[in-house]
Structure 1
Amino acid sequence: MPVFLLLLMLLPSLGQAQSLLALRIGAAELQAEYAVTARERERGLMERTELPANRGMLFRFDDFRRHCLWMKDTPLPLSAAFLDEAGRVVDLIDLEPLSKAIRCSREPARYALEVNRGWFAEQRIGVGARVQGIPGQ
């Protein structure tokens, strides 16, 4: 089989670069990868050893209910905001690197936004803040 065809067949599994969303929460701005598919959500930020400042990952869940996160194979200390369907923060949690503990939202959520630990506190973002720039809103 020609090498070109083999590369074309492998391309979907090579983790192509995602475009970044420009998000705003109050006066704070960040860029986030957008995890929409089940595979993207399962992979999340696993095995990443660094996350640039003002960067994160926005997860979109298929249904609006309480959702859970864990840090298996994720060596970064992260904070996460769970968001309702309007992009309003309904819960904030800190996540421990490599932990298998399952952490769930207190309220139903459509999205979760993961950032470097402490980013929300540094930006003075709390429950009730609204994230702007989410596709479809």
Structure 2
Amino acid sequence: MPSLRLAAPTPFLRRHGLLAVLLAASLAALAPASQAQEGPQLNLQRVELTAGMHRIDAQVAVAPVERQIGLMNRPEMPQHEGMLFVFEQPSEQCFWMKNTLLPLTAAFVADDGTIVNLEDMKPQTLDSHCSKKPVRFVLEMNQGWFAKKGIKAGFKLGGAPFSKK
């Protein structure tokens, strides 16, 4: 972590003191995180999911930083691949496409694997795409994948994440 070193107090620091120091420290702490987002995440754990007779090879984003980066900066993705975002508890989940180069479809998925709703998302936009009810899972695939397979809301996905415990 970069260290924060201050020389003689400037008029700004004398006036704003602790606030300025905290702001500078916060900005310094954020610098490594933004550098880590320069390239795509390609080495996350994977899980095999099924959609009827179709197999999906999904990267799994569990940690907050993995979920935050998602599929950002990825120039391409094979058609049978996707990313499964896993949250700690069901909640309304909203996604956007900042720094995401691929057109994607987000499937908002209930604990039992049932697709609650599907949302097409345009690359590099800040439009919010949300689940219609609380969910713990979101599966992103290349845009058109679900439509080509005839998969709609109410369809049930299979795989270890959706197995009853």
TM-score by length of 2: 0.71
Partner of 1:3: none
The question of 1:33 aligning with 2:59 is answered: yes
Between 68-77 and 18-27, the greater mean CA deviation after superposition: 18-27
Structure that is richer in strand per residue: 1
One-letter amino acid of the counterpart of residue 66, structure 1: E
Query: Root-mean-square deviation (CA), in Å?
Result: 1.7
Equivalent pair of 1:87/1:134 in contact (CA under 8 Å): no
Partner of 2:48: 22
Partner of 1:96: 122
Equivalences for residues 1-137 of structure 1 within 5 A:
17-135=43-161, 137=163
Equivalent pair of 2:113/2:162 in contact (CA under 8 Å): no
Between the aligned partners of 2:42 and 2:48, the Cα distance in structure 1 is 19
Between the aligned partners of 1:32 and 1:55, the Cα distance in structure 2 is 6
Give the SS at the match of 1:40: helix
TM-score by length of 1: 0.85
Between the aligned partners of 2:153 and 2:147, the Cα distance in structure 1 is 11
Partner of 1:7: none
Between the aligned partners of 1:134 and 1:61, the Cα distance in structure 2 is 15
Q: Give structure 1 regions of 4+ aligned residues with deviation exceeding 4 angstroms.
A: 13-16
Shift of the alpha carbon at 1:112? 0.3
Between the aligned partners of 2:91 and 2:44, the Cα distance in structure 1 is 26
Identity of aligned residues (%): 39
Question: Deviations along 1:21-49, whole A, 9 cap, x unmatched?
Answer: 11101121110000011111001000001
- Higher Cα radius of gyration: 2
Equivalent pair of 2:44/2:61 in contact (CA under 8 Å): no
One-letter amino acid of the counterpart of residue 44, structure 1: G
Equivalent pair of 1:81/1:112 in contact (CA under 8 Å): yes
Q: Which runs of 5+ in 1 are unaligned?
A: 1-12
Question: Deviations along 1:14-73, whole A, 9 cap, x unmatched?
Answer: 967223211101121110000011111001000001011110000011221211000000
